[in-house]
Amino acid sequence: MRALVRREKIILLCCVATVAVYLVTEGVVKPFFLKLSSVDAQVTAAVHQLDKDRRVIAKAGQLNERYAFYRAKFASKGSDEAVPMAMIAQIEAAAGQFKMKIADIKPKTVQRVDQLRICSVSLVIAASLKDLIAFVEVLQRDPFYFGVDDVMAERLSYDDGDMLSFRLSLTTLALPE
């Protein structure tokens, strides 16, 4: 084989340099910039998530302040057995305002849903429909906030006039302190 002429050596050198530049570009530079853009995208996404989380935390703080009044109102002190007893005392006090006699009152078991306590009682009371409506209206307002789950009415006797026997199921919510 004959020796390469100077011109052929320059052409060969240019070809080798071109191939070397291509290989370095494809093998090193492009993957580096792809990795760099991927990391940049991850950083941008993390910054957006951090901003979003900061807004949620700020909003949660505002909601905590906003609903602290209600949390204090529904906070319950005591055990699961003490809460229904306090509930019964409140119902008896409200019945006393209307001079009603409670024939029977039974607390139901306290149900727990997450941190919330659902307290229920069933009671039998003899009253006129007008008095019962006023009694239930008082129980549904401040400071009691009782909900009425169901009501059953039956006539005591035909001699009692407008007196009926009502079976009520009342429920209220209690939050732990």
Residues 6+ apart with CB under 8 A from 111: 117, 118, 120
Element (H, E) at 27: none
Average pLDDT, the chain: 86
31, pLDDT greater than 70? yes
Gap between the Cα atoms of 142 and 145, Å rounded: 6
Secondary structure letter of residue 57 according to DSSP? H
Element (H, E) at 149: strand 147-155
pLDDT band at 73 (very low <50, low <70, confident <90, very high): confident
78, pLDDT greater than 80? no
The pTM score is 0.59
List, for residues 84-122, the tens digit of each pLDDT value: 888 888 888 888 888 888 889 998 888 888 878 888 899
Question: Cα-atom radius of gyration of the chain, to the nearest Å?
Answer: 39
Inter-residue contact 169 to 120 (CB < 8 Å): yes
Inter-residue contact 117 to 82 (CB < 8 Å): no
Gap between the Cα atoms of 94 and 123, Å rounded: 13
Domain 77-176 has CATH 3.30.1330.10: no
pLDDT of 158 reads 65
pLDDT of 12 reads 92
pLDDT band at 129 (very low <50, low <70, confident <90, very high): confident
49, pLDDT greater than 80? yes
Domain positions in the chain are 1-73, 77-176
pLDDT of 3 reads 86
pLDDT of 51 reads 94
Query: Average pLDDT of 33-51?
Result: 92
Indicate the residue type of 146.
F
The string of DSSP codes covering 87-126 is HHHHHHHHHHHTTPEEEEEEEPPPEEETTEEEEEEEEEEE
Query: Average pLDDT of 124-140?
Result: 88
81, pLDDT greater than 80? no
Query: Average pLDDT of 36-49?
Result: 92
pLDDT of 77 reads 67
Gap between the Cα atoms of 116 and 73, Å rounded: 13
